Chains A and B, each alone.
Chain A
Amino acid sequence: MKTSVLVVLTLASALVAAPSRAQQMFPAPLSERVVSYAIDVRLDPVGKQLQGRERLTWRNSSSDLVGELRFHLYLNAFRNSATTFMRESGGRFRTPGADDRGWIDLKSLETPDGTSLLGRAEFISPDDGNDSDRTVLRLPLPAPVRPGKTITLIATFTARLPRVVARTGFVPGDFIMAGQWFPKIGVYEPAGMRSAREGGWNCHQFHSNTEFYADFGVYDVNITTPDRFVVGATGLRVRETRNSDSTVTYAYHAEDVHDFAWAASPFFEEVTDTWRHVTIRALMQPQHLHQAARHIGAAKAALDYLDAHVGSYPYPALTIVDPAWGGFRAGGMEYPMLITAGTFSIMPEGLRWPETVTVHEVGHNYFYGMLASNEFEEAWLDEGLDQYFETRIMDDAFGARASQADLCGFHFGDFELTRAGYATMKNPRSAPIATYAWQFPRGNYGALTYDKTAVVMKTLEGMVGIATMDSIMKTYFRRWGFRHPSGRDFIAVVNEVVRTIHGNRFGNDMNWYFDQTIDGTGLCDYELTAIDVSPGPPPAKGEGDGPKEDSAAGPVFTSTITISRLGEVILPVEILVRFSDGSTAKEIWDGTARVKEFRHVRNAGAVWAGIDPERKIALDIDVTNNVKSVDPPRGVLWKYTLKVLFWVQNLFHFAAIFT
Chain B
Amino acid sequence: MPLLTIFRTALLRSGTSFRLIAALYVINLVFAGIIALGFRSAIASSGGVAALAPLMDGFDFTIVSDYMHTRGDGVRAVMQTALIMMAVSSVGNSVMAGGVLTLLRDGNSFSLRAFFAGCGAYALRFIRLMLATGAVTIVTLAAVLGLAGSVAGTVDATSENVPIAWMAGGLIASAALLLLMLMAGDYARVMIVHTDARSSLRTLLASSRFVVRNFFAATGLQLLMTAVAGACIVLYLCLEPALPATSGGAILVLFFMQQFFVAARIWARVAIYTGELGFYDSRRPAGPESAW
Q: Do residues A646 and B262 form an inter-chain contact, with CB atoms below 8 A?
A: yes
Q: Which of A175, A286, A287, A636 lies at the interface centre, i.e. has the most chain B CB atoms within 10 A of its CB?
A: A636
In the complex, A420 Cα to B66 Cα: how many Å?
A: 8
Q: Do residues B28 and A652 form an inter-chain contact, with CB atoms below 8 A?
A: yes
Q: Do residues A419 and B62 form an inter-chain contact, with CB atoms below 8 A?
A: yes
Partner of A411, one of B59, B93, B161, B240: B59
Which of chain B's residues has its CB closest to A424's CB? B69
Q: List 28 A-B contacts (CB under 8 A).
A: A285-B159, A287-B161, A324-B158, A325-B160, A409-B240, A416-B61, A417-B61, A424-B65, A424-B69, A623-B51, A624-B70, A626-B51, A632-B44, A632-B50, A633-B49, A636-B53, A639-B56, A640-B43, A641-B37, A645-B258, A648-B82, A649-B29, A651-B32, A653-B28, A653-B266, A656-B269, A658-B134, A659-B91
Is B106 an interface position by the 8 A CB rule? no
Interchain residue pairs A-B with the least CB separation, the first 10: A645-B36, A412-B61, A173-B158, A659-B93, A656-B93, A624-B48, A624-B51, A659-B94, A646-B258, A648-B32
Is B124 an interface position by the 8 A CB rule? no
Q: Do residues B156 and A659 form an inter-chain contact, with CB atoms below 8 A?
A: no
Q: Do residues A401 and B61 form an inter-chain contact, with CB atoms below 8 A?
A: yes
Q: Do residues A325 and B61 form an inter-chain contact, with CB atoms below 8 A?
A: no
Q: Do residues B71 and A650 form an inter-chain contact, with CB atoms below 8 A?
A: no
B28 contacts across to A, CB distance below 8 A: 649, 652-653
In the complex, A326 Cα to B153 Cα: how many Å?
A: 10
Which of chain A's residues has its CB closest to B97's CB? A659
In the complex, A632 Cα to B182 Cα: how many Å?
A: 46
In the complex, A604 Cα to B3 Cα: how many Å?
A: 70
Interface of A is mostly: mixed
Q: Do residues A628 and B36 form an inter-chain contact, with CB atoms below 8 A?
A: no
B-contacting residues, A613-639, CB 8 Å = 615, 621-629, 632-633, 635-639
A201: shortest Cβ distance to chain B, in Å? 42
B245 contacts across to A, CB distance below 8 A: 639
In the complex, A401 Cα to B59 Cα: how many Å?
A: 9
B160 contacts across to A, CB distance below 8 A: 287, 325, 344-345
A260: shortest Cβ distance to chain B, in Å? 26
B60 contacts across to A, CB distance below 8 A: 401
A-contacting residues, B66-82, CB 8 Å = 66-67, 69-71, 82
Is B248 an interface position by the 8 A CB rule? yes
A650 contacts across to B, CB distance below 8 A: 233, 262, 265
A348: shortest Cβ distance to chain B, in Å? 14
Interface mask (A410-450 → B, CB under 8 Å = 1, otherwise 0): 11110011011001100000000000000000000000000
A-contacting residues, B114-163, CB 8 Å = 126, 130, 133-134, 137, 156-161, 163
Interface size class of A (residues with CB under 8 A): 35 or more
A657 contacts across to B, CB distance below 8 A: 182
Contact A642:B36 (CB < 8 A) given known A626-B51, A651-B82: yes
In the complex, A632 Cα to B43 Cα: how many Å?
A: 11
A345 contacts across to B, CB distance below 8 A: 159-161, 164
11 other contacts beyond A636-B53, A638-B251, with CB at 8 A cut-off?
A: A174-B158, A411-B61, A621-B66, A637-B43, A641-B43, A649-B262, A652-B31, A653-B269, A656-B97, A658-B185, A659-B96
Interface size class of B (residues with CB under 8 A): 35 or more
A629 contacts across to B, CB distance below 8 A: 50, 53
Is A655 an interface position by the 8 A CB rule? yes
Is B284 an interface position by the 8 A CB rule? no
Partner of B265, one of A615, A644, A653: A653
B174: shortest Cβ distance to chain A, in Å? 14
A-contacting residues, B190-223, CB 8 Å = none
Contact A635:B29 (CB < 8 A) given known A623-B66, A641-B39: no
In the complex, A546 Cα to B53 Cα: how many Å?
A: 31
B35: shortest Cβ distance to chain A, in Å? 5
Is A567 an interface position by the 8 A CB rule? no
Q: Do residues B61 and A624 form an inter-chain contact, with CB atoms below 8 A?
A: no
A608 contacts across to B, CB distance below 8 A: 50
Q: Do residues B158 and A267 form an inter-chain contact, with CB atoms below 8 A?
A: yes
B67 contacts across to A, CB distance below 8 A: 624
B52: shortest Cβ distance to chain A, in Å? 5
Q: Which of A615, A632, A638, A658 lies at the interface centre, i.e. has the most chain B CB atoms within 10 A of its CB?
A: A658
Q: Do residues B55 and A645 form an inter-chain contact, with CB atoms below 8 A?
A: no
Is A346 an interface position by the 8 A CB rule? yes
Q: Do residues B248 and A420 form an inter-chain contact, with CB atoms below 8 A?
A: no
Q: Do residues B51 and A416 form an inter-chain contact, with CB atoms below 8 A?
A: no
Is B86 an interface position by the 8 A CB rule? yes
Q: Do residues B62 and A420 form an inter-chain contact, with CB atoms below 8 A?
A: yes
B185 contacts across to A, CB distance below 8 A: 658
Partner of B49, one of A285, A637, A645, A656: A637
B59 contacts across to A, CB distance below 8 A: 401, 409-412
